[in-house]
Amino acid sequence: MTDSERALQKVADSVLSFEPDNVVASTREALEAGIEPMRVIEEGLAKGLRMVGEQYEKGDFFLTELIAGANAMKAGFDTLRPLIPKGAKKSIGRVVIGTVKGDIHDLGKQIVTSLLEASGFDVIDLGVDVSSSVFVGKVKELSPEILGMSVLLTTSMPEMKTVIQELKQDGLRDKVKIMVGGAVVTDNYAKEIGADAYGADAVDGAHKATRLVGSNSV
């Protein structure tokens, strides 16, 4: 193993410590050893997160490790962000996400957000109780690849349909893929209101988002 390989392995291992400080430190060391920032991301940070993902698939890790791993990796990524050359692809796509109007349930959306970030997405979280005009305005402003809507209350479900209709009226519907999720949502309901995909749980949501943008990453 060369010195560079050793430094990159240390970055990957630090992700599995789930401590953001460890990841930042190992990332800096790799840079000081003269390794290209993009290589630190691909062969260090992303590799570490893949290792977390593999343990999760095997059943040895829980959701909490998956998310903590993603957060730790993000800390390393933020260190590198200013050094990434302009024009280099920093994410596999942009996602605008929020819990719909009338509903302040945050947990499901937060889990999905963490997993989307772990999958390489750039996620803009609009928070909870988000009105249709804010959803539409952000789609117009940020041109995301995916719009994600979360809901837990049955009473707020129709709000997702309203957002989709307003996107249509503004001629934006074809410019963005729409994903919906939440305990009360079903595959059928998603089809009925004209969404592109439905995430049965957070892991399923992250897989489907990755498929929607046609990427094979994590």
Is 103 a known active-site residue? yes
Q: Residue 209's beta-bridge partner residues?
A: none
According to the binding rule CB under 8 A, does residue 129 interact with other proteins?
A: no
- Please, what is the minimum distance in Å from the beta carbon of residue 111 to other proteins? 6
According to the binding rule CB under 8 A, does residue 187 interact with other proteins?
A: yes
Q: Residue 150's beta-bridge partner residues?
A: 99, 181
Is 207 a known active-site residue? no
Cα–Cα dist 150/136, whole Å: 15
Q: Which of 105, 114, 119, 125 is catalytic?
A: 105
According to the binding rule CB under 8 A, does residue 107 interact with other proteins?
A: yes
Q: Which of 91, 119, 150, 156 is catalytic?
A: 156
According to the binding rule CB under 8 A, does residue 212 interact with other proteins?
A: no
Closer residue to other proteins in complex, CB, 71/131: 71
Of the candidates 90, 102, 89, 212, the one whose C-alpha atom is nearest the C-alpha of residue 148 is: 212
**Could you write out the DSSP letters of every residue in 44-83?**
IIHHHHHHHHHHHHHTSS-HHHHHHHHHHHHHHHHHHGGG
Whose tokens are 């996620």? That residue is 123
H or E stretch covering 118: helix 107-118
- Please, what is the minimum distance in Å from the beta carbon of residue 24 to other proteins? 16
According to the binding rule CB under 8 A, does residue 192 interact with other proteins?
A: no
Instruction: Provide the token pair at 172.
Output: 């934006």
77 close to 41: Cβ distance less than 8 angstroms:
yes
Of 4, 9, 55, 71, the one binding other proteins by CB under 8 A: 71
According to the binding rule CB under 8 A, does residue 200 interact with other proteins?
A: yes
According to the binding rule CB under 8 A, does residue 62 interact with other proteins?
A: yes
Site residues (vs other proteins, CB under 8 A): 18, 62-65, 67-68, 71, 106-107, 110-111, 114, 187, 200-201, 204
Residues that are catalytic: 103, 105, 156
